[in-house]
Chains A and B, each alone.
Chain A
């Protein structure tokens, strides 16, 4: 079946823009792989190179072990769902679904069964004779998915397929996409800049930045053990707090305006080394202000329903704490915080790499 292997993949656009700068990773057969990263980091470019819509400047793309650099998109056994759906506006839904099969000279009865099956799976039954303009956004999205599944390809490619839907529909379609991929057992490569989508959909998460891969792993691995400061702040919402400090003897990091954090990894560093400490908002717990090793002044609180976010300054640096609904801290209060040493991340301020 359809594994995807990228080795040293690079893309330089005609204008000299280097969109992808040496990317290598494997997507095992049947895996749901999500590419996530900020806008302009080269996610779409990478996906389009897998699809064959963009030429490869150097490196290789292999699908199911076969190098496909010079293979036409039609012959790569992939299907793609576009951000704007790219439905053929002058064809009925039925013909949109059947188009790829007809071009491949699939026998008529077979086309009919496959279209009917896709329509059943996606609940498109009544819409088969409508034109795309007569469908809602969510229905169009389904047709676009249908067009991908009728062909039974080895790999599904998605480029931000949910970004044109409203928030509620997005959650619903997200679940549907995941269910569909599971039941068909097909490999998927999915591009998004929404980290909730990225966390929930992925078996394998690839975090990209500026044309490079920052980290590959499961969502949980990446959340628990981000390998760079970029990944640490990009994955997780609200983002991880980063505090600058200096190492003191005994695995302690001192913050500039008072406050000390115990970090086991700091024990191996020479005292006086500048470092960055990462603490997730949900890992900091409230304590009494007196005698706490960390103190924060609350600037304002954001109510999220089940939780509250307290924004403030800790050691002169911005800090966010996620607390429980019943928390009483008000603007201007000074609060104490504590963090489990195992939940503190340490980064090199120069390279941004994780220090273990």
Chain B
């Protein structure tokens, strides 16, 4: 399609129009990123009096640090759990809403609400609902014979933050899956039903493969979210504990840098995260470019 183009003469006006966005990007993103990369090659002495260039030593220290590796593992498990649960629940809800003929808009609107709630707030709500002493859900679990206390049980703490983080992503995934489902022509499923495919088989052999591009896109988005956007959730609920059990990489960056005041190590950790997000984004773009258009 040929879009109508408006052209500006010269470069002054375009620059002026872009300036606010560029300024924000430079001040809040590029500048700190450059700082982090520089700091990651330096080490500060205990009194913060002088810094020296140490090359890759901060990175080498990270790989040798069992706490860091443990945090890496925790983050992997956490992201996988968040992505999988948010995708599965989002898809399930989308399939259900796609099937109802009446009131689908109402369901959709309600299901999008959680996305509007800031993750940290949602996390606090979940922490309250599952509070070891006063949480209503805790009582329910107790009735079911489950002793729930995320303050002492590391696995339970991890489950809590998975829950609180996936909660919001469900809305996002739901929206994309619903759009994906609705773009599948009805006649395909009708042809399949004449071809003796029951509902489950239709889903497995027609619907799911046709949702593959959407699913792939959402996996990347969810993993990026779980890796980088979950600081607030951890901070508002478990604070990385008990012990190290919910210390995700993003949380550890902050804790080592601002609590532990080990700026070199913290910066090296940020750089590692930066590299991961760049890699994920690259994969995403590669895929989007080559995406098969049905």
Chain A residues near B (Cβ < 8 Å) = 14, 51-53, 72-75, 78-80, 82-84, 86, 88-90, 99-100, 103-104, 133, 147
Interface residues of B in 235-270 (CB under 8 A from A): none
Interface residues of B in 14-41 (CB under 8 A from A): none
- Say yes or no: A86 contacts B190, CB within 8 Å: yes
- Say yes or no: B188 contacts A100, CB within 8 Å: no
B192, B195, B205, B212: most-surrounded residue (chain A CB, <10 A): B195
Note all chain A residues with C-beta closer than 8 A to B196.
Answer: 74-75, 100, 103-104
The smallest C-beta distance from A115 to any residue of chain B, in angstroms, reads 14
Docked pose: A84 CA to B189 CA in angstroms: 13
Docked pose: A72 CA to B197 CA in angstroms: 11
Decide yes or no whether B206 CB sits under 8 A from chain A: yes
In the complex, residue of chain A having the shortest beta-carbon distance to the beta carbon of B293 = A133
In the complex, residue of chain A having the shortest beta-carbon distance to the beta carbon of B194 = A73
- Say yes or no: A90 contacts B195, CB within 8 Å: no
In the complex, residue of chain B having the shortest beta-carbon distance to the beta carbon of A75 = B196
A-B contact pairs, 13 of them (CB 8 A): A51-B190, A52-B194, A72-B193, A73-B193, A74-B193, A83-B187, A84-B185, A84-B187, A86-B185, A86-B191, A88-B188, A100-B194, A103-B196
Select one of B192, B197, B294 contacting A89, CB under 8 A: B294
Known: A73-B193, A90-B210, A103-B195. 9 other contacts (CB 8 A): A53-B190, A74-B193, A74-B194, A79-B194, A80-B191, A83-B187, A88-B206, A99-B195, A104-B196
Decide yes or no whether B73 CB sits under 8 A from chain A: no
Select one of B194, B205, B210, B212 contacting A78, CB under 8 A: B194
In the complex, residue of chain B having the shortest beta-carbon distance to the beta carbon of A90 = B209
* Interface 0/1 of B174-210, CB less than 8 Å to A: 0000000000010110111111110001000110011
The smallest C-beta distance from A143 to any residue of chain B, in angstroms, reads 12
Select one of A78, A86, A90, A103 contacting B187, CB under 8 A: A86
Docked pose: A80 CA to B209 CA in angstroms: 23
The smallest C-beta distance from B194 to any residue of chain A, in angstroms, reads 5
- Say yes or no: B209 contacts A74, CB within 8 Å: no
In the complex, residue of chain A having the shortest beta-carbon distance to the beta carbon of B101 = A14
- Say yes or no: B194 contacts A103, CB within 8 Å: no
Note all chain B residues with C-beta closer than 8 A to A89.
Answer: 188, 210, 294
Docked pose: A82 CA to B210 CA in angstroms: 19
Note all chain A residues with C-beta closer than 8 A to B210.
Answer: 89-90
The smallest C-beta distance from A68 to any residue of chain B, in angstroms, reads 13
Docked pose: A51 CA to B210 CA in angstroms: 25
B194, B196, B209, B212: most-surrounded residue (chain A CB, <10 A): B194
- Say yes or no: B209 contacts A53, CB within 8 Å: no
Docked pose: A100 CA to B195 CA in angstroms: 4
The smallest C-beta distance from B107 to any residue of chain A, in angstroms, reads 18
Note all chain B residues with C-beta closer than 8 A to A79.
Answer: 194
Note all chain B residues with C-beta closer than 8 A to A72.
Answer: 193
The smallest C-beta distance from B1 to any residue of chain A, in angstroms, reads 19
- Say yes or no: A103 contacts B197, CB within 8 Å: yes
Note all chain B residues with C-beta closer than 8 A to A73.
Answer: 190, 193-194
Docked pose: A83 CA to B195 CA in angstroms: 17
- Say yes or no: B191 contacts A82, CB within 8 Å: yes
